[in-house]
Amino acid sequence: MRTDVISFSPNEETKEALIIVRDFTINNNDASVFLDAQHCCIMKTSLDYLSSLSANDGLSGAMRALISETSTVFAHCSSSYIEANMKIESTASELSRADNLKSDLENNKNQFNDMVASEKELQQKLARLEEMKKELEKQIRTTNANIMASRKELNTTRKRKRGVYVEGKALKAQMDVKEKVPRLQHEHDLAKENQEKIKAEWSEFGEKINKIVVKSAPSFILIPLASSQALSAKKAAAALKGSKAACTRRTNSIFCFRC
């Protein structure tokens, strides 16, 4: 971008449009303002208005080139920042789902191990009862009752084990999401890195705009930031709406245009 001294005397509509563009760039260094549709709309309207001006409107070639570059950078940064933000949200959701599946599978594995241990314990108990049956004929009825109860419990446990096993297979089939974790994490990290680069680029461009405008424009552009920030969206919209009616020159005014 050229850094020539830019000297001109704009009308009121042009002044307010330049102030909006200046404040938007230097007051939003973190670029999060791109997620604010209302502010972005005001910025775009101001840039569209400034881009429609020509040398006949009193703008030098350097100033028109600066406005054109600002429009290009604004369009690129706003769309890229919003896209990166959407990617961060979508990948975060997928990563969270992958973590939940991993936790569910681990719980299922623990349950299955518990069932295996329970089955083994019941089998050992059944073996002892069978031995008692041989040794204690007098207690055969009691022993047989215990055997029946244990067998029933064993069958129930095996049914539960089978159910847990089937559930585990279903969960394991869903673990294909885990294979996506490296890619999802890469996309997540890349989107965050891209967002940080955009923040830095936008901050640097804001400083560049401020330096050029402050060095090149009349004193009206040096108004305190606090007061310029107070410019309401309603006032900016009204000013831009009346811009088409302000194309006539005022030859005896201090705002007469000069190249």
DSSP string, 52-114: T--GGGT--HHHHHHHHHHHHHHHHHHHHHHHHHHHHHHHHHHHHHHHHHHHHHHHHHHHHHH
70 vs 245, more confident? 70
- Quick one: pLDDT at residue 184? 83
Q: Which two tokens stand for residue 128?
A: 């002892």
Does pTM top 0.85 for this prediction? no
Q: What is the mean predicted confidence (pLDDT) over 201-212?
A: 89
Q: Please check the confidence at residue 107 and state whether its pLDDT lies above 90.
A: no
Domain range summary for the chain, segments of one domain joined by +: 12-89+193-246, 105-183
Q: Please check the confidence at residue 223 and state whether its pLDDT lies above 60.
A: no
Q: Please check the confidence at residue 81 and state whether its pLDDT lies above 50.
A: yes
Share of the chain above pLDDT 90, in %: 6
Which of 83-87, 139-143, 202-206, 244-248 has the weakest average pLDDT?
A: 244-248
